[in-house]
């Protein structure tokens, strides 16, 4: 199963794809989309088009997006929410359910500490995906989101199998 993680941002949107085969994880690709344009609408369109190209090229089977945290700048939070809408729309158009994870959940899953910094996340992503060339901090965060979703999907499958065996 190919899992894409998306770290939404209006200027830079990180993305990362991992392949999971049971307990094995393998890096597929990662990168950062940079929005271009003079207006918000055009910047959102460039993110939308870029993410659609990634989906067309890599055909993920599952998707996850980091939840928005509210900061002191209301206008900035609103713009981030619009970029997050793009990050959720493209997987939905591909027919995928979109997992959503709080930043602390991703950090706790990947690093073991809910308040880890970006360097710790990138280090642990690199440890779990040896040989991956990570395209910057936004891509590292996106790979962390993909890993988090892969772990949660695996746990859900294990629970489903256990419940089926218990009821048989």
CA distance 166 to 168: 6
Is residue 53 a known part of a binding site? no
C-beta of residue 107 within 8 angstroms of C-beta of residue 121: yes
- Catalytic residue (one of 21, 57, 66, 100): 66
Q: Is 122 a catalytic residue?
A: no
**Ramachandran assignment for 132, one of left (phi > 0), alpha (psi -120 to 50 degrees), beta (any other):** beta
Q: Is 61 a catalytic residue?
A: no
Q: 60 by DSSP, 3-state: which?
A: coil
- Catalytic residue (one of 21, 73, 138, 160): 138
Q: Is 100 a catalytic residue?
A: no
CA distance 81 to 79: 5
Is residue 7 a known part of a binding site? yes
- Catalytic residue (one of 7, 49, 61, 73): 7
C-beta of residue 70 within 8 angstroms of C-beta of residue 11: no
Kindly report the three-state secondary structure assignment for every residue of 88-100: HHHHHHCCCCEEE
CA distance 99 to 157: 15
Is residue 38 a known part of a binding site? no
Residue from 31, 32, 28 nearest 60 by CA = 28
Annotated binding site for Mg(2+): 7, 66, 138
- Just list the catalytic residues: 7, 66, 138
Annotated binding site: 7, 66, 138
């Amino acid at each position: 199963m190919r899992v894409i993680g998306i770290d939404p941002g209006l200027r830079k949107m990180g993305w990362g794809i991992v392949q999971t085969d049971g307990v094995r994880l393998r890096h597929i690709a990662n990168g950062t989309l940079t929005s271009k344009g003079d207006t918000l609408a055009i910047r959102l369109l460039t993110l939308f088009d870029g993410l659609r190209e990634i989906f067309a090229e890599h055909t993920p089977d599952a998707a996850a997006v980091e939840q928005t945290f509210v900061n002191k700048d209301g206008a900035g939070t609103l713009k981030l929410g619009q970029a997050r809408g793009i990050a959720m729309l493209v997987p939905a158009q591909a027919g995928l359910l979109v997992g959503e994870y709080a930043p602390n959940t991703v950090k706790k899953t990947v690093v073991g500490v809910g308040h880890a910094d970006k360097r710790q996340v990138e280090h642990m992503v690199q440890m779990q995906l040896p040989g991956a060339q990570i395209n910057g901090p936004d891509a590292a965060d996106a790979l962390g989101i993909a890993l988090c979703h892969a772990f949660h999907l695996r746990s859900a499958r294990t629970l489903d199998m256990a419940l089926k065996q218990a009821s048989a």
